[in-house]
Chain A
Amino acid sequence: MIAAAAKIENLDRSSEALPLLSVRSLTRTYGTRIGCADVSFDIWPGEVLAIVGESGSGKTTLLNCISTRLEPTSGTISYRMRDGEMRDLYQLGEAERRHLLRTDWGFVHQNPADGLRMTVSAGANVGERLMAVGQRHYGRLRATATDWLGRVEIDAGRIDDQPRAFSGGMRQRLQIARNLVTAPRLVFMDEPTGGLDVSVQARLLDLLRGLVNDLGLAVIIVTHDLAVARLLSHRMLVMKDGRVVEHGLTDRLLDDPQAPYTQLLVSSILQV
């Protein structure tokens, strides 16, 4: 309870400043079909926002638009750069955008093979971002990689193995390490626990929760799993047919859903 109060206080204090990311009337259409329509929200430093909804509701389209992987049809997305200035992401040059993507941001894919280099060792996977920003000391790169493997509970002896030789859960943890090594401020996650069995999922969630707290990360996580959203997120956006149907604090939204669709979604959770 005290921890939660402290967290809210933290959020309050940082809310005096500008948000980290601000999305305004974001729309993406595929021809006449709607990907997502008129989405607006802000995210503050250290905050975890979950985007939930059924398959085809526009979650991934929204995530891809925000992470500059897919150009929106209309609307603006602005981001507070490290120098404190709010910049429109789609006004940035490509070089700046790609630099942002591999330093200040992280992207955790549902399928680890999309986010990892499967044919180079785990150590090089973790070190790649550091080398990209100019780290040129093998010994230090290796020390950092060893440290990060430890933090995501991968045995240091596996540092020279390729991710091909890793299990699904290990690959996902390696992908997380690879993204967090440059101390990003904002991490996008697309169904990070999808396709993992429940015990592995639980460990991964535990790890993620710890890392998010320790590093003060802001996270935008897309998931169809309400339990994942409840465990990780402070706030939630519920999407249906490309639109946001409800938006609020996670506990409030799950315990007292207002929109009919959210009520349906919450009542559809299987009780074991």
Chain B
Amino acid sequence: MTARTQASSYNFAYLDEQTKRMIRRAILKAIAIPGYQVPFASREMPMPYGWGTGGVQVTAAILGPDDVLKVIDQGADDTTNAVSIRKFFERVADVETTTRTVDATIIQTRHRIPETPLREGQVLVYQVPIPEPLRFLEPRETETRKMHALEEYGLMHVKLYEDIARNGHIATTYAYPVKVEGRYVMDPSPTPKFDNPKMHMSEALQLFGAGREKRIYALPPHTEVVSLDFEDHPFEVQRFDKPCALCGGGQVYLDEVVLDDRGGRMFVCSDTDHCESRRAEGLRGELLGEVAQ
């Protein structure tokens, strides 16, 4: 039996059409109110909460037979989560999949934005564990919804103030809060703050799905996304001392990889597709014998 016939008892892209309609309605509302968390009737998916049930439902609702799907987990195409979600959609929707950012029409991501700038027509789907940026400051959901409604965001700065008071600088490095179109404060999901500037005025549509928390929110293309900060402690992204050890790329987000038990380590691109494309062009980092750029 082929994978196709095995999966024939499933509707296209796993979810039934009514559910997809419900999710699309939530997505449309989310696009109409950038940064606002729209509640939706999240379904049980064949994976545990925390593995991207929200992102998978959003992807399933917008996926068409002609789409080309890419799935990344912390920037990589070859990690468990990315591989299994890609296989899942190959099986239940029979869509083409790719690891190349430029070829994809839909990119589902866990905690990274690809280094290659996204273009018009592409959709980036984020897996979100906790959509509420105020959650750890104000545990009552009734109260946080009211705070969003009345635009009471002083508390968000209390957190940043605490960061500076304790560490001398804003020590939040991921899930760094942003303000969308001067209105809603939004959690960009636990992406490194390095990726925050990429959200600003992006040409691609960005959708966020939180399965356990039953929320969808969105950033339509060309949306203003500003990272919160203080006048005397402005927002800054992480900087790396060295370029990627494999492709020699700079201005990218790097992962630290331990090489041996004697303190040897290298820094490589977290975005595997970006790294591979550069190497295919003949560029080399220090570990592969540097080639002049």
Q: Hey, which bits of chain A sit against chain B, CB under 8 A?
A: 94-95, 98, 117, 120-121, 123-124, 127-129, 131-133, 136-139, 141-142, 159-160
Distance between A104 CB and nearest chain B CB, rounded to angstroms: 16
Are A124's CB and B162's CB within 8 A?
yes
Nearest chain B CB to A157 CB, angstrom units: 13
Interface membership of B233, Cβ < 8 A = yes
- Among A123, A132, A138, A139, the residue within 8 A (CB) of B152 is A132
Contact, CB under 8 Å: A123 / B231: no
What are 29 contact pairs spanning A and B, CB under 8 A?
A94-B146, A95-B150, A95-B151, A98-B152, A120-B161, A120-B162, A121-B165, A124-B158, A124-B161, A124-B162, A124-B165, A128-B154, A128-B155, A128-B158, A129-B154, A131-B157, A131-B158, A132-B153, A132-B155, A136-B229, A136-B230, A137-B230, A137-B232, A138-B161, A138-B231, A139-B232, A141-B161, A160-B165, A160-B166
Q: How far is the CA of A95 from the CA of B229 in the complex (A)?
A: 24
Query: Closest B-chain residue to A127, C-beta based?
Result: B161
Additional A-B contact list (10), CB under 8 Å, known A120-B161, A137-B230: A98-B152, A117-B158, A121-B162, A121-B165, A124-B165, A128-B155, A131-B154, A131-B157, A137-B232, A160-B166
B259 to chain A, nearest CB (A): 39
**Best-buried of B153, B161, B230, B231 by chain A (most CB within 10 Å):** B161
Say yes or no for B68: interface residue by CB 8 A criterion: no
Q: Are A127 and B230 in contact (CB under 8 A)?
A: no
Known: A136-B231, A137-B230, A139-B232. A120 touches B158 (CB 8 A): yes
A-B complex: 10 closest residue pairs judged by Cβ atoms: A132-B154, A131-B157, A131-B154, A138-B230, A137-B231, A95-B150, A124-B161, A124-B158, A139-B232, A160-B165
Give the distance in Å from the alpha carbon of A98 to the alpha carbon of B229 in the complex: 24
A residues in contact with B157, CB < 8 Å: 131, 136
| A95 and B154 alpha carbons, distance in the complex (Å) | 14
A137–B164 alpha-carbon span in the complex (Å): 12
